[in-house]
Structure 1
């Protein structure tokens, strides 16, 4: 148990049997009336985001979430297999839990796997990853005032937009949160 004064970003709360991660919080002390805490909570499994207000000092139940760095090994067709880098223990994760992270996941890549009571909650990748362009058409610079983009297929099969000067076989940095091009890798 914790109080609303102990809230911080990333803390996972157990509200009515469901797990919610604190995305942001704000302590508010109005000129009139009692203080309160305004929060934005994200449902750990569904990703749904809600706003919730707590009275200051209210007790909230926290969930014990174990975050471990694991190495992605392979996809066996029905699940993704990760290995704990410390204990070498293997964990199978369903495609639903992996979600959009699969678009940026390469063999032997490290990721953070969060569990609660032995149940895998989510897979978290670094903010950016380095991937190779598997295929893109040559870019033709026309009469435009700003740089254009073109589609490119990454080695994972994900298709993103890249600048016209990028060619097949180049290694680029990609933002895992929104799939945007961040730059070339030197």
Structure 2
């Protein structure tokens, strides 16, 4: 395992801080006129997403995190876990649903996703930014309703509930932004 001196911190470097994997989001080397040089760093904890501001003296060092990003095939889920497969070596991984948070609703079986592994355990799955899904349930739009209310609630094929424009009907395919859970546009068949 590599060790990094604080003078060599770079954006995107994955390190172990307080026994958790972190990624450096911002790094600024400061050499004051008086005193010892230091590096001001913004770290994001990969397990919780927490952002930390911290200064390190030039004599401090941190260990490199054993983090890799790999493409995995999403297989299925049960009550407690989501299951994935590495198509290169057929190694199977499982991850607790609480780690996937709200990303689980955007995972489609038999599709590939980027996964972040730490010590050979999945700590994060990155769904695609945009996916196309069918609307399976929504209220019908009423003529003149767009004056007061221009959105309504719709249930998608994967069970997700989002707001859509009033003109969207059951059976239509829509494009959804998975980062913000928002409707983007209607897809023509």
Q: Same fold (TM over 0.5)?
A: yes
Query: Corresponding residue for 1:27?
Result: 28
Query: Corresponding residue for 2:90?
Result: 88
Contact 2:85/2:92 (<8 A) preserved? yes
* C-alpha RMSD of the superposition: 2.5
**Gap runs ≥5 in structure 2:** none
**Is 1:137 the counterpart of 2:144 in the alignment?**
no
Shift in Å, 1:120:
1.8
Equivalent position to 2:157, from 148, 155, 162:
155
The count of residues paired between Structure 1 and Structure 2 equals 183
Shift in Å, 1:95:
0.7
Structure with greater Cα Rg? 2
SS at structure 2 position matched to 1:61:
strand
Contact 1:25/1:37 (<8 A) preserved? no
Measured in 2, the distance between the counterparts of 1:117 and 1:143 equals 52
Measured in 1, the distance between the counterparts of 2:129 and 2:33 equals 42
Summarize the Cα distance change of 1:163–1:61 in structure 2 as closer, same or farther, 3 Å threshold: same
Equivalent position to 2:113, from 98, 111, 114:
111
Q: Normalized against structure 2, the TM-score is what?
A: 0.82
Contact 2:95/2:122 (<8 A) preserved? yes
Shift in Å, 1:18:
1.5
Measured in 2, the distance between the counterparts of 1:63 and 1:71 equals 24
Measured in 2, the distance between the counterparts of 1:109 and 1:12 equals 27
**Gap runs ≥5 in structure 1:** none
Shift in Å, 1:30:
7.4
